[in-house]
């Protein structure tokens, strides 16, 4: 399973990358706006830290998306072009597939959208589980359904569980065999924690101080 950080903050990427478990980063226009830094420079700094950085197109028509996709893909070989799940986005995914440009289809909320994006040649699809939960649904049920469909058709497209809100989303993504989860910084920091690890380690350390050395 690959683990990505969902952020546009380069310091956070550097910190989690130093753990040796980080496979990539997903950004989106909202995250980039929040940091208030230059987009291209941010993406390039992240590309120096991890092998896969999603950078989202902002055009809404296929021609504009394709132009941005070609431009971003020239920035660095670690760039993955993020394309929204729209009809224009599908055209762009097909174009990118033919040009050998890696893509991440974002804003996926149904199995139908997932299948369309895979057929259009997306390298990854991003179902947004947290936003489904927020709307009163069950985001992880969508992941279960997509993974079931993927078993039938063996699509090469990786399923990237996005819009995660809590560690339980990551655990369930792993159990369902999702290929990737993208995780907000605060949730990533919680993942190594377990109260029994803390009490267990304290006991080992206490006992060690009583040991003749
Ligand atoms: C994924 O690539 C998106 O950047 C992200 O997961 C969206 O999450 P949100 O619903 O918390 O904004």
DSSP state letters, 44-112: HHHHTT-S-EEEE---SSHHHHHHHHHHHHHH-TTEEEEEESSHHHHHHHHHHHHHT--EEEEEE-SHH
Phi, psi for residue 126 in degrees, rounded to 5: -115, 90
pLDDT at residue 212, rounded to an integer: 87
pLDDT at residue 68, rounded to an integer: 98
pLDDT at residue 47, rounded to an integer: 98
pLDDT at residue 30, rounded to an integer: 96
Question: Mean pLDDT of successive 10-residue segments in the chain (213 residues)?
Answer: 98 98 97 96 98 98 98 98 98 98 98 98 98 98 98 96 98 98 98 98 96 87
d(CA 104, CA 126): 7
29 lines ligand 1 (CB under 6 A): no
d(CA 190, CA 166): 9
For a ligand 1 pocket test, name from 132, 162, 184, 188 the mutation site with the most ligand atoms within 8 angstroms of its C-beta. 162
**Ligand 1 atom nearest 26 alpha carbon:** 2
d(CA 54, CA 139): 22
pLDDT at residue 174, rounded to an integer: 98
- Taking the complete model, does pTM exceed 0.85, yes or no? yes
pLDDT at residue 150, rounded to an integer: 97
162 lines ligand 1 (CB under 6 A): yes
**Ligand 1 atom nearest 104 alpha carbon:** 2
104 lines ligand 1 (CB under 6 A): no
Please tell me the residue having the least CA distance from ligand 1 atom 2: 26
- Tell me how far the alpha carbon of residue 159 lies from the centroid of ligand 1, in angstroms: 14
Among all residues, which ones are annotated catalytic? 82
- Tell me how far the alpha carbon of residue 167 lies from the centroid of ligand 1, in angstroms: 15
- Spell out the domains of the chain, with CATH numbers in brackets: 2-209 (3.20.20.70)
Contact status, residue 184 vs residue 164, Cβ threshold 8 Å? yes
166 lines ligand 1 (CB under 6 A): no
């Amino acid at each position: 399973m690959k683990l990505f950080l969902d952020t546009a903050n380069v310091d956070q990427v550097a910190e989690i990358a130093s753990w040796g478990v980080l496979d990539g980063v997903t950004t989106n226009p909202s995250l980039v706006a929040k940091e208030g830094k230059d987009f291209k420079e941010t993406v390039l700094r992240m590309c120096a830290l991890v092998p896969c950085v999603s950078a989202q197109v902002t055009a809404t028509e296929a021609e504009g998306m394709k132009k941005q996709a070609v431009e971003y893909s020239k920035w660095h070989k670690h760039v993955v072009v993020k394309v929204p799940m729209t009809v224009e986005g599908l055209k762009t995914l097909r174009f990118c597939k033919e040009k050998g440009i890696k893509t991440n289809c974002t804003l996926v909320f149904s199995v139908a959208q997932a299948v369309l994006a895979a057929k259009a040649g997306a390298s990854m699809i991003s179902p947004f589980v947290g936003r489904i939960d927020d709307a009163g649904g069950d985001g992880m049920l969508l992941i279960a359904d997509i993974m079931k469909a993927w078993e039938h058709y063996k699509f090469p497209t990786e399923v990237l569980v996005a819009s995660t809100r809590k560690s339980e989303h990551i655990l369930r993504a792993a159990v369902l065999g999702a290929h990737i989860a993208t995780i907000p910084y605060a949730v990533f920091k919680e993942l190594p924690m377990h109260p029994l690890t803390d009490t267990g380690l304290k006991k080992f350390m206490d006992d060690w101080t009583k040991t003749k050395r």
